[in-house]
C-alpha cells in the first residue's frame, strides 16, 4: 500500500501499513486547558503573582498573563525589572472592574461589553494590550452612537481604531443641524463638527478660524459664556495660531483676561512659539498637535551617517510621517566630517563641533528650516568632537568630557556651565522636564573606560543638570540600574527618558519624576 493520509474524526493516520503514524488532534483540548487554568485561578492554586487596582487584588499566573498580552510578556519575561520579581504589581490608570474583565478574558477567551463598561474597558484593553477586547469595545461603541454620546466616544476612541473613529466622524458630520441648534447640550458639543472632525468633506478649520467660530458659538448662550469659554478656548490649539493674530485678536479679548485658565493657555502658546519649551518635554496633550487643516507636520530629520564603505556623509534627509515620503534637505558643509553633535532647537537644527579627520572644530552650524540652508552660528569656546548636545528652554547645551557650555540664540553668545562631576566617555544627552540628562562611562585615570568580563562596561552613570542652580546630580533608582553592555543613546518623549541600546532590541524607559524604570516592548530590530 502506498503512503497515504487517512482522517477519521480527531485521528490522522499517516504512512503505509508497514510504517504507520497515528496523530491525534483533540479539538476540545484548548478549551479544557483554559477551563483548568481558570479553575486553578478561582481556587488560588499555583498563583505566582497578584495584580492590584483600586485597592483590590487579583491572584493569577504569570505564564497566562504573558501568553495573553504583550504588555505582561514584556513585564514578566522581558528582562530583570522590578515587576518581574515582585509578588504584587500595582497597575495605574486601570479600574478594578476593567482589570477583572480582562483577566476573565485571559483565562476564558470571553468578554461581555456593555454600555456601562465599554469606554473604561476600551482604555484598559488598549493600555494592557488585549487587542481582541479592544476590537470588541470598538465594535460596541460604533453600534451605539447618538448625538449625545458621539463626541465622548470619538474623543475616547484611540486613533488606531479607524473603523469606530470614521463612524463617529461620519455620524457627527451628518447631524450638524442638531449640534448647531440644540440649546440643551453642553456647549462643547456645539463645536464638535467644527473642531474635532478629521480632514475630509467636513474638515475642521485652522486654529485662527476655530477661535472665531468658538467665540461666535458662545454668543448664543451668553449666560454660560464665562463658564464654558476656557473649555472651548483650550480646543483652539493656540500654539499654531500666528503670533500677529494672537496679539491682535486673542490677547485683546476681555473674556481671556478675566479667565486665569485662558491666560495660562495663552502663556503656554507664547512659550511654545518662542521655542522656550519643547512640546514633547512633558506628556503631550492634544492641543500641542497641529490639525491636518493647518498643513503643518512634524518631520524626522536624518543628518549625516556613513555609507556602505564607512565613508562619512554630509547628506541631510527628512521624512514626513503624514505623507510617508522622504526628501532631501540642504547638505552639511563639506568640511564637517564627523564627531559633531545634533540638536533641534525650535524649528532649526544645530550641529556644533566635529572634525575632518585632522582638525577638530569649534564652529557651530545652524540649519534654518525657513530657507533650507546652513549658516555659521557663534563658535564654542573650544574645539570639540564626540560630545553631546541638547536643547532646553530656548538654549543649546553642549556636554563634553573636557567641559560644558550653553548657547543662547537670543543673546547670540555662549556661556560656561559647571562641568560634569566626572569626565564621561561616549556621552549622550537629552532634555526632559526642564533638566538635561546625560549617560556615559566615567573616564579612567589612564584614559578610556573600564570593561569587565563578557564585554560589559563596569560603570555607566546617568547625571541630571539643573539650569537654575547650575548643578549636576547623579541619578539613582530604587530598583537599580539596568545591566547595560554598551553605552547607549538617550532621547526623551512626553516626559519619559528612553535609553536605546546599540547591541540589543531592548529599550529602557525612565520616569525622572518618580525615579522608576518603566517596562516597554522591545524594538523590532537592533
Looking at the predicted structure, is the pLDDT value of residue 293 above 70?
no
Q: Who wins on pLDDT, 66 or 306?
A: 66
Give the mean model confidence (pLDDT) for residues 32-50.
Answer: 91
- Read out DSSP for 138-149? HHHHHHS--TTT
The answer to which of 1-5, 76-80, 293-297 has the lowest mean pLDDT is 1-5
Q: Tell me what the mean pLDDT of segment 225-231 comes to.
A: 66
What's the confidence (pLDDT) of residue 406?
Answer: 94
The pLDDT assigned to 176 comes to 44
Name every residue whose Cβ is closer than 8 Å to that of residue 32 and which is 6 or more positions away in sequence.
none
pLDDT at 285: 64
Query: What are all long-range contacts of 150-158, with beta carbons under 8 Å and residues at least 24 apart?
Result: 150/175, 150/192, 151/188, 151/189, 151/192, 151/196, 152/119, 153/119, 154/192, 154/196, 155/196, 156/119, 156/122, 156/123, 157/122, 158/122, 158/126, 158/134
pTM: 0.55
Q: 112 falls in which pLDDT band (50, 70, 90)?
A: very high
The β-bridge relationship of strands 325-329 and 316-320 is: antiparallel
Please determine, for residue 138, whether its predicted confidence score (pLDDT) is greater than 70: yes
Most confident of 1-10, 111-120, 315-324: 111-120
Contact assessment for residue 387 and residue 341, using Cβ atoms and an 8 Å cutoff: yes
pLDDT band at 40 (very low <50, low <70, confident <90, very high): very high
Q: For position 217, what pLDDT does the model report?
A: 58
pLDDT of residue 445: 54
**What per-residue confidence (pLDDT) applies to 101?**
95
Q: Using one digit for the tens of pLDDT, what is the confidence trace for 407-417?
A: 998 888 999 99
Which of 257, 253, 251 minimizes the C-alpha distance to 269?
251
Q: How many CB atoms lie within 10 A of CB 289?
A: 14
Domains of the chain: 28-144 (3.30.710.10), 207-288 (1.25.40)
* Predicted confidence band of residue 457 (pLDDT cuts 50, 70, 90): very low
The model's confidence at residue 156, banded by pLDDT at 50, 70 and 90, is very low
Q: Using CA atoms, how far apart are residues 37 and 34, in angstroms rounded to an integer?
A: 5
Number of Cβ within 10 Å of residue 218's Cβ equals 21
pLDDT tens for 307-351 read 777 778 888 888 888 778 888 888 888 777 788 999 988 788 999
Candidate from 9-13, 171-175, 217-221, 368-372 with smallest mean pLDDT:
171-175
**Section 475-496 average pLDDT:** 78
pLDDT of residue 86: 83
Kindly tell me if the per-residue pLDDT of 302 is higher than 80.
yes
Please report which confidence band the pLDDT of residue 181 belongs to, taking 50, 70 and 90 as the band edges.
Answer: very low
Amino acid at each position: 500500500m502506498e503512503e497515504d493520509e487517512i482522517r477519521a474524526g480527531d485521528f490522522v493516520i499517516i504512512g503505509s501499513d508497514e510504517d504507520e503514524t497515528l496523530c491525534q488532534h483533540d479539538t476540545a483540548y484548548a478549551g479544557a486547558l483554559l477551563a483548568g487554568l481558570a479553575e486553578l485561578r478561582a481556587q488560588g492554586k499555583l498563583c505566582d503573582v497578584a495584580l492590584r487596582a483600586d485597592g483590590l487584588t487579583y491572584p493569577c499566573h504569570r505564564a497566562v498573563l504573558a501568553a495573553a498580552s504583550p504588555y505582561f510578556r514584556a513585564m514578566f519575561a522581558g528582562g530583570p525589572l522590578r515587576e518581574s520579581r515582585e509578588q504584587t504589581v500595582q497597575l495605574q490608570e486601570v479600574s478594578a472592574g476593567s482589570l477583572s474583565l480582562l483577566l476573565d478574558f485571559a483565562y476564558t477567551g470571553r468578554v461581555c461589553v456593555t454600555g456601562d463598561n465599554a469606554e473604561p474597558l476600551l482604555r484598559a484593553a488598549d493600555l494592557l494590550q488585549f487587542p481582541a477586547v479592544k476590537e470588541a469595545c470598538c465594535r460596541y461603541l460604533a453600534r451605539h452612537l447618538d448625538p449625545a454620546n458621539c463626541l465622548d466616544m470619538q474623543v475616547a476612541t484611540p486613533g488606531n481604531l479607524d473603523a469606530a473613529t470614521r463612524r463617529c466622524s461620519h455620524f457627527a458630520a451628518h447631524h450638524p443641524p442638531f449640534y448647531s441648534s440644540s440649546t440643551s447640550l453642553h456647549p462643547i458639543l456645539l463645536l464638535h463638527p467644527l473642531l474635532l472632525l478629521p480632514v475630509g468633506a467636513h474638515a475642521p478649520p485652522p486654529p485662527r478660524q476655530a477661535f472665531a467660530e468658538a467665540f461666535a458659538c458662545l454668543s448664543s448662550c451668553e449666560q454660560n459664556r464665562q463658564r464654558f469659554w476656557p473649555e472651548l478656548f483650550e480646543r483652539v490649539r493656540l500654539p499654531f495660531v500666528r503670533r500677529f493674530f494672537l496679539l491682535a485678536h486673542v490677547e485683546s479679548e476681555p473674556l481671556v483676561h478675566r479667565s486665569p485658565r485662558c491666560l495660562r493657555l495663552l502663556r503656554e502658546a507664547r512659550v511654545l512659539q518662542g521655542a522656550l519649551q519643547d512640546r514633547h518635554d512633558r506628556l503631550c496633550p492634544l492641543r500641542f498637535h497641529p490639525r491636518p487643516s493647518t498643513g503643518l507636520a512634524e518631520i524626522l530629520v536624518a543628518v549625516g551617517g556613513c555609507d556602505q564603505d564607512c565613508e562619512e556623509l554630509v547628506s541631510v534627509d527628512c521624512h514626513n510621517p503624514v505623507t510617508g515620503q522622504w526628501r532631501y534637505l540642504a547638505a552639511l558643509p563639506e568640511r564637517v566630517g564627523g564627531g559633531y553633535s545634533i540638536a533641534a532647537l525650535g524649528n532649526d537644527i544645530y550641529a556644533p563641533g566635529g572634525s575632518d579627520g585632522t582638525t577638530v572644530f569649534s564652529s557651530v552650524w545652524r540649519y534654518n528650516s525657513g530657507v533650507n540652508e546652513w549658516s555659521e552660528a557663534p563658535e564654542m569656546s573650544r574645539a570639540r568632537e564626540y560630545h553631546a548636545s541638547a536643547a532646553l528652554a530656548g538654549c543649546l547645551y553642549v556636554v563634553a568630557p573636557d567641559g560644558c557650555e550653553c548657547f543662547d540664540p537670543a543673546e547670540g553668545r555662549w556661556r560656561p556651565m559647571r562641568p560634569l562631576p566626572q569626565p564621561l566617555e561616549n556621552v549622550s544627552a537629552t532634555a526632559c522636564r526642564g533638566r538635561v540628562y546625560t549617560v556615559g562611562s566615567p573616564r579612567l585615570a589612564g584614559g578610556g573606560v573600564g570593561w569587565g568580563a563578557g564585554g560589559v562596561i563596569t560603570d555607566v552613570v546617568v547625571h541630571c543638570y539643573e539650569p537654575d542652580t547650575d548643578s549636576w546630580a547623579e541619578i539613582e533608582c530604587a530598583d537599580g540600574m539596568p545591566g547595560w553592555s554598551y553605552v547607549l543613546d538617550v532621547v526623551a518623549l512626553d516626559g519619559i527618558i528612553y535609553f536605546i541600546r546599540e547591541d540589543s532590541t531592548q529599550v529602557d524607559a525612565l520616569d525622572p519624576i518618580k525615579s522608576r524604570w518603566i517596562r516597554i516592548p522591545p524594538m523590532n530590530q537592533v
